[in-house]
Structure 1
């Protein structure tokens, strides 16, 4: 099979979902509103938290970071997909593909680590309530967020930079709607053993370990909730965890679905569907999950929107 050096690769082809023009128009009509809702919803969460002093607590600090990560996670893949569908051009440059992979992994890992930090926050709040303010200080929360960013960036660079050493086959068609690292590695004609070792190691460190931490935290939380005698106390304690548990279930459930389906089936159609849920639906639902189940968040969003109304009218009226 003909091979070309990595420096000779100019474009990859993102094959996307379908060749049918009518279905592509339908997909464009579905993805664009979903993307706009995702950006708007997560921006509202960030603005509501930053503008309301009552929400300047560790839980909402991590939530605002999670919303920012969701915006980046979705914006890494969906705008390029929309452009490709609209222009009927499937090409993405080699540099663009590397960049997309890098940011996709950064924001995906950041989601993992922030969800773990939020689980730890709930663990301390329910299992050690008297020490909560001592443990979850603003400095400690800032260090957790900064550490999550640093680990995500280093993990992403370790996975992506090794792709630059590969030679690729003349066939550069990626059966996906974005540059997914496992799919790109399948196109390589040189040995990918080192790449696979790094990918599996990074998956263990950046996905399995955080998930283990989340499960351990909630095992302790549920154990503490069971020991609460009052029914009202049990409900209140569980309600503070319900939104986060639902988000964790969606994120890890669909994420695992992507990779299990790609391993279990030769066809990539199921993997594509799972990837849409993983990269699009989950970030879109997160603001609704956290706002609809949270009275403080709903109140903050209402106050934000009410304050934005007069400001908009003044802007339109002019000087």
Structure 2
């Protein structure tokens, strides 16, 4: 078995931080590469870091030469960078996975092609196109940027009959998607790890609550019929296989009141809704990714009971003293200096009593 001695991580946020911590527990070094690496959550726990732009070819080549495998902690690293890296060393999640996950139309088109149900959607590149899409919509919808939107950013609620020209002119993007607004009962997410040989390992399904477009709470394993969980996991595995994933893939789904499953979005990286696995599974999502990257095989992903994870945003930091004093609470702070409103500063996990 070949073991990677150093994992290179593109990006310097909390996901890179928690991956570096998990890798260190396995005796694996990490090297952070990011434009803001010096004063970042990840750099403070990594073995080393490089602060440089993603298009700095000289710095990128030096970085690649110093590691055995590279992964990205966020999906918006330029796909061309991943392509360049993959010519010199194994790269996770892979160029194809990144390109698909970077564009909302591309990922929904892929899901639909694989027979995975999605909300109705229309690509929007002009005011005329938006006007036609709103007419076909025949109700309420959400206009989203195709790229770079996260945590509710780059979105606007719209409806048939709205002034398409005014909306399009003020939206700020000519690469958008109109999605029908779904009256869903709740949201779930799946996470699968996939090795280069195509073998996979699933985590239990998470059930999520969002507030203002940002994940507020996850409870896992989700209290849903096993048939629904299996269907969601099968869809996630199909997506991972189709893009040739190397690493982990998270997929969010809407669940309707009649138990219909609708694809929402995917991310080829660790996911906020699986932070509970740090305490809740023998191999957390971060440990699992480190194992896959290092060629160590899959770890045990079964859950130790049921868990609740609550995000701590900037406006929640006054809760920290009480959380520190609470029995059974596992507090994770990300080391970010400025507690801005809606900025993810940490999370708290606790085991739920058996029902």
Q: Indicate the TM-score class for this superposition, using the shorter chain for normalisation.
A: under 0.3
Q: Which has the higher helix share?
A: 1
- Say which structure, 1 or 2, has more relative contact order (CA 8 Å, 6+ apart): 1
TM-score (norm 1): 0.24
For the pair shown, the structure with the greater C-alpha radius of gyration is 1
Q: Which has the higher strand share?
A: 2
